Structure formats: structure tokens, C-alpha cells
Amino acid sequence: MSKNKKSEMIESKVGSTLTENKIGMKKVIKGKTYNTETSRKVCSYVVNGWTHELYQTKTGEYFTYTYKYDHYLEEIRLVSENEVSHMMERSGLVSRDNGETVLNELKDWCDEDNKDLKVTGHGGFINFDFGSWEVTLDIDDVNWIRMTPKGKTVFDEDDLSMIQWLRSNEWDTRSWDKIRKEYLKGRFGKTNSEEC
């Protein structure tokens, strides 16, 4: 007895086709097919309702399949070597016991005037320590930001201006992409000549 897989076209873009099957998902990117059914699942983890699954094709290429809850929102995209390392670390598949990574590139980019600013990364989180308060970002969720006053119960006016900036339209996906890229480069020490 054979099952018929019902497929429907979800999205059509120049250079890629996205097809959803009841069992998995596949996407054609630059003429190559990336399919969750025919590739090996390496690892997975969940962040704020988003499931991140890392797959490896038979030819050795890596891609990620990310979806929300019951596959309502989903995507397949190619990933860099640094992202592969991050996903393996975040899922617990591999352990990096080298503690926090100092991210000086992000310190200079974020606030050149604040000499006390320390920027570190570990386990998918980036921590901006401004001395009297800190901001923590999750590199797998652009909308997740935690702000914490240190040794005081309220934020002062200078703190509030930084918080406003983080919550404004100026804080966009380009800013988050820069932070994510610097975290991956600083944490895993690899640079790719071609970004995915």
C-alpha cells in the first residue's frame, strides 16, 4: 500500500522554490535541492517556540530547518561553518568548555565612549555589561532581549536612552545580523569567504 504525499507550493522567489510535505520540507536554492527527508538530521533545539534543526546532505552540505510550533512559520536556509558549530554547541551535541568569549569588535561597534563596557558571548547569548546594568541577547531570536539593572532597582536616564535605542526601529535585523555574525566569528574563530 503506498501513501500519496500531498505537496503544496508555499512561496515562490527568484532562484528558490519552497515545497511542504506532510512529513518534511524541501527547498531548491541555486539549483540544488535541500530536503529534510533525504538528509541526515544532526541536532536540534528549541528557542522561544522556534525549533532549529541542523541537517547534512549526502554531499556534506549543511542547512537549517527552522519552524514555529506546528510548522505554521518555517524556512530552510544554508548555514556557515560557524553556524554549524553554534548549533552543535547550543543543542548539547558538542561541549565547548572554554568559558565566555570576549567580543571586542562588538564593544567598539556598540558604544565607543563607554570604557567600562564588556561584551561577552557563551551558549548562544551575548551579554553587554555596561557596569550599572546589562543587556543580554539571544542570537537565535531577534526579538529576545533581557535588560537587567545591577545593584540598583531602577534604570537611570542614560540607561533608558540605550534601552529605547534597543527597542526602536533603528534596532533592526541588520544590527542583529551584525551582532550574530560577530558572535559566531568571535566564538568559533572561523571566517568564511562566502556568507550563506
| 139-168 per-position pLDDT tens digit | 888 778 788 877 766 666 766 776 666 666
Do 104 and 119 form a contact (C-beta atoms < 8 A)? yes
What was the pLDDT predicted at 19? Answer: 44
pTM above 0.95, yes or no: no
Q: What does the DSSP 8-state code read for residue 5?
A: P
What was the pLDDT predicted at 16? Answer: 44
Beta bridge partners of 44: 53
Measured CA to CA, the distance from residue 19 to residue 37 in angstroms comes to 12
Strands 133-138 and 141-149: antiparallel
Q: What does the DSSP 8-state code read for residue 169?
A: T
Do 140 and 90 form a contact (C-beta atoms < 8 A)? yes
**In sequence order, which ranges of 92-169 are alpha helices (DSSP H)?**
104-110, 157-167
What was the pLDDT predicted at 5? Answer: 37
C-alpha cell read off for 147? 535588560
Mean pLDDT estimate for the chain:
76
pLDDT category at 54 given cuts 50, 70, 90 is very high
Using alpha carbons, list the distances in angstroms from residue 153 to 129, 143, 161.
Answer: 16, 24, 17
Whether pLDDT at 183 is above 80 = yes
Cα 160–Cα 166–Cα 172 angle in degrees, nearest 5:
160
Measured CA to CA, the distance from residue 41 to residue 34 in angstroms comes to 12
Whether pLDDT at 194 is above 60 = no
